[in-house]
Structure 1
Amino acid sequence: MEPLRTVLAVALLLGTASAVSLGVVKTEGGSVQGKNIRLGLFRSVDVFKGIPFAAKPGTLEKPRPHPGWTGVLKATKFAQRCLQMSMLQTSAFGSEDCLYLNIWVPHGRQVSSNLPVMIWLYGGGFLVGGSMGPNFLNNYLYSGQEIADRGDVIVVTVGYRVGTLGFLSTGDAALPGNYGLWDQHAAIAWVHRNIRSFGGDPDNVTIFGESAGGVSVSFQTLTPHNKGLFKRAISQSGVAFCPWAVNKNPRQVALQVAEKVGCPTDDTMVACLKSIDALTLTMAAPRVKPGTPDYPVVNYLVLSPVVDGDFLPDQPANLFHNAADIDYLAGVNNMDGHLLTSKDIPSFGGEKETPVEEIKRLLGAYTKEKGQAGLDMAFAEYSSNWGSTPSQVSIKSTAVAIGTDYIFLVPTQAAIHLHADNARSGRTYSYLLSEPSLLAGRSYHHWVGADHADDLQYVFGKPFATPKAYGDSHRDLSGYMIAYWTNFARTGDPNKGKLKVPVTWPEFNSTTQQFLELNAKMDESYVGQKMRLRFVRLWTSTLPGLPSLNDIA
């Protein structure tokens, strides 16, 4: 009789545990119902997919409020991605009607309330990307489930327009651009207004993103339009100062697109562009071509945000007062430049020898404005520890360091410094992820550290969700990153919250400039100071101090 009683008791417990769910949720547009997923005896997560946060946007127009719906919206299927070119750039997929978001709400014994909220902005160079369904084969990289469950936070992922539809601009009021940034802002504002109904705290919202998503997070902290909508922000491998983050000559791109779609380039151009169908406009975007040492891939990323006098009323460097009360955590991967640099230098892969000349040409492309003097100064700095006969590892790893510094690390350090210098109540944290790439020694050279986008799998808990693809050390690192990220979202301090961390992460200030190196083996020795200071000074102070070729001419 006793075993039967135990079985009944467990069945009863399971029955009550599975009943913990939000059920039908009322939002400003109407009622929604998601799907409840059981994760354990007293853990479940409600998942809402495809909730509209704005109406279908007009072509090259700001987002508008959604008109709402009647009845209960079954929020169980992802919406389509925003219309974008395929990776081969020969076709397009997705939809214009793409301003939707997804929400993961974790529950314990009771339905959750007043939880911290984390809003994810995806990367993709402002050209591609999405958080609607599988990113690769059946692997959905941006599932919020592991973060929500482990960190006890609500995770929201949003759609925003990319490519021509998101960022085409004439550089003036006729076609100001930044439509993708306005989409993100509309999603953040929707979350602020509605998340209480899902058990979230509208006064404790963190935005986070990687690459173009990290740049977007940076811009969202700098615009005056988000006052009071979120409290904290995390930029992973991307900030407003990245060389590809702001298009300084958007009109040139608009003229190219107009010519491709058969629009005149006079004062009727904008009206004509707005009348062209979205697919044609998408396919008219300038193509990203394989880089060369003289014209690196990063130069092709031209459909990006602009200083429009509205969303960005001034140059990013002059807008940090808007982020003075926002807690900011930012960092890069120690070989973030590998992905692009290995495409720029043809001899990089495999056993081929990379000539020193190719490194010089790449560096010359990055220091172009400063001419020979700039190249000589930069090359002397980067080759200072080579000796008379540098090894191939030295040469190739220097190429990666140059790409990492120029495209990601130095801009991120500059943003962290400015945030700390302008902060009132906002705290600042800096990191460097150094976990070796999973491809190191396989399709990559054995010495490759954390490549661009390597952080995503750890932040989103992939080593837990797909355990066979990872080892225990990867689960350790993923646990650490989820702990730091969600503690930061909860309290503004990555060390304090619901999850234990392996090392105390010190705040960044301009005097000590402390940062945390994230690694599966980390201990107290992983707290560093003055990240790559020599090279930060080279790019932010020494090189800018040289006369530009334009000035001389």
Structure 2
Amino acid sequence: MDPAIPLDEDCLYLNIWTPALRGSGADARLTGEPLPVMVWIHGGAYQCGCAMEKEFDGTALARQGVVVVSVAYRLNVFGFFSHRWLQEEAEEGAPYANFGWLDQQAALRWVRRNITVFGGDPTRICVFGQSAGAASVLAQCCAPGNAGLFSRAIMQSGAGLGYFNATLCSLESAQSTGARLMRRLGVENLDEARAVDAQTLFEGASRLEAPEGVDDAAWPMMVNWVPCVDGVFMPRQERDLILDGQTKNIDLVVGDTQDEFMVSDGQGHQVRAGREGNRRLITAWQHGGGRAPYYYHFDVPMPGDDAGSFHSSDLWFVFGTLGSCWRPMRGCHIELSQCMSRYWTRFAAMGDPSGPGLVHWDRTDMHGDRFLHLGFPVEMRSGHRGA
């Protein structure tokens, strides 16, 4: 988090790009038929990031004939603090954890109610996100309180039902972490907790060690301030909700990049954990009654430093923001970006990403063996070459 940015929980704002309005201010007028809506949830491991980074400026995507919305939500301790005090205070059925996810849900409900004012079609809402944003899209798909709120989802590099989504944190564990922070700050009750200023709370949360027995080599905040199975917004593990049919009416695009989430299997081999998690998600999605998803692998060695198809390298291509990237992009990259933007917006509009001038994108099979290779060339493949 940039230390120059003041900390404030007054962060729940939307950015909206629409091609459907002519004029400005009070003189703005709608033109044409209602357009499909794409709601973007940014990533950042639930700890950092924002809704207005240059990679996902929605201007170019909106020119494809969609209304683009990016949402902000509370992060780290502000979004995912939990404590038994909050549970004891809450009325029956009221939430008391997962506030970052609840912020996203509130944004989706706002979009559903109000997007017609901006030329959007509330019956054609596609929620998409990358990394923790994609994991959040999965959560919004699984949440029973969102039934009927949207009908399409795109999960970019969210690791499916693997890596950090394999098993969500328990409420008890989340509350234990919250209690450790309160003890560290010398706070003894909820009134005192609410009197702690944002900077002090954030600094205390940043310095809190990971729970005993948990590997915190990467970043303790990534295991301390994360979503949990709270019994309200997220009543059970996501896989169980999927298998029970919670997501069966949602069309899905899911994918990953070639060089992300490489982890050791303990036997000297590197495993693509995100890819394996996506394949588990694809299988569960269909066992739960959902239609076979559209699956992709992004495999473009990025020019310049940090070569390879690393985590988040696909964002410039999806949003058509290559012109804002410092890397020496060439014509082939621009052509691929135009192709990917069309796939994404076609899916938002139709539930099927294929269209004129595009390589036909088939749905995958039960185990995710068939996928669209987004690289040079763009083509359908089978068998996970190089997996």
TM-score bracket for the superposition, by shorter chain length: 0.7 to 0.9
User: Structure 1 residues 432 and 193 mapped into 2: Cα distance closer, same or farther (>3 Å)?
Assistant: same
Q: How does 1:77-88 map to 2 (within 5 A)?
A: 85-86=1-2
| Contact 1:234 1:330 (C-alpha < 8 Å) held by counterparts | yes
| Contact 1:434 1:450 (C-alpha < 8 Å) held by counterparts | yes
Per the alignment, residue 484 of structure 1 pairs with 343
Q: How many angstroms does 1:428 deviate by?
A: 0.8
Map Cα deviations across residues 496-526 of structure 1 (whole Å, 9 max, x no partner). 3xx632x21110221673111111x2244x4
Per the alignment, residue 527 of structure 1 pairs with 381
Q: Secondary structure at the match of 2:149?
A: coil
Q: How does 1:414-425 map to 2 (within 5 A)?
A: 414-424=280-290
How many angstroms apart in 2 are the aligned matches of 1:166 and 1:120?
18
Per the alignment, residue 251 of structure 2 pairs with 327
Map Cα deviations across residues 459-497 of structure 1 (whole Å, 9 max, x no partner). 11112556984210110111111011111101111103x
Q: How many angstroms does 1:241 deviate by?
A: 2.9
The farther-off stretch of 211-220 and 509-518 is: 509-518
Q: How does 1:254-333 map to 2 (within 5 A)?
A: 254-264=178-188, 268=189, 270-287=190-207, 296-297=217-218, 301-302=222-223, 303-320=225-242, 321-333=245-257
What is the aligned counterpart of 1:156 among 41, 64, 69? Answer: 69
How many angstroms apart in 2 are the aligned matches of 1:504 and 1:182?
37
Q: How does 1:438-457 map to 2 (within 5 A)?
A: 438-439=303-304, 442=305, 444=306, 448-457=307-316
How many angstroms apart in 2 are the aligned matches of 1:532 and 1:185?
38
Q: How does 1:124-135 map to 2 (within 5 A)?
A: 124-132=44-52, 135=53
Q: How does 1:492-511 map to 2 (within 5 A)?
A: 492-496=351-355, 500-501=357-358, 503-510=359-366
The farther-off stretch of 170-179 and 120-129 is: 170-179
Per the alignment, residue 83 of structure 2 pairs with 170
Q: How many angstroms does 1:152 deviate by?
A: 0.8
How many angstroms apart in 1 are the aligned matches of 2:46 and 2:241?
21
Per the alignment, residue 8 of structure 2 pairs with 95
Structure 1 unaligned spans of 5+:
1-84, 342-361, 364-374, 383-397, 534-553
Aligned length: 361
Identity %: 32
Map Cα deviations across residues 376-406 of structure 1 (whole Å, 9 max, x no partner). xx44xx3xxxxxxxxxxxxxxx4xxx3xx23
Structure 2 unaligned spans of 5+:
23-29, 91-95, 210-214
| Contact 1:222 1:323 (C-alpha < 8 Å) held by counterparts | yes
2:135 matches 1:215: yes
Per the alignment, residue 371 of structure 1 pairs with none
How many angstroms apart in 2 are the aligned matches of 1:105 and 1:198?
7
Q: How many angstroms does 1:98 deviate by?
A: 1.1
How many angstroms apart in 2 are the aligned matches of 1:131 and 1:508?
31
- Residue identity opposite 1:337 in structure 2: F
Per the alignment, residue 115 of structure 2 pairs with 195
Q: Secondary structure at the match of 1:254?
A: helix
Q: Secondary structure at the match of 2:233?
A: coil
Q: Secondary structure at the match of 2:255?
A: strand
Q: How does 1:10-25 map to 2 (within 5 A)?
A: none
Per the alignment, residue 61 of structure 2 pairs with 147
2:36 matches 1:116: yes
Q: Secondary structure at the match of 2:332?
A: helix
User: Structure 1 residues 467 and 334 mapped into 2: Cα distance closer, same or farther (>3 Å)?
Assistant: closer
Greater RCO (Cα-Cα under 8 Å, separation 6 or more): 2
Q: Secondary structure at the match of 2:322?
A: helix
User: Structure 1 residues 213 and 279 mapped into 2: Cα distance closer, same or farther (>3 Å)?
Assistant: same
Q: How many angstroms does 1:532 deviate by?
A: 7.4
| Contact 1:203 1:230 (C-alpha < 8 Å) held by counterparts | yes
Per the alignment, residue 153 of structure 2 pairs with 233
Q: How many angstroms does 1:177 deviate by?
A: 1.6
Q: Secondary structure at the match of 2:36?
A: strand
How many angstroms apart in 2 are the aligned matches of 1:532 and 1:318?
31
User: Structure 1 residues 106 and 313 mapped into 2: Cα distance closer, same or farther (>3 Å)?
Assistant: same
Q: Which has the larger radius of gyration?
A: 1
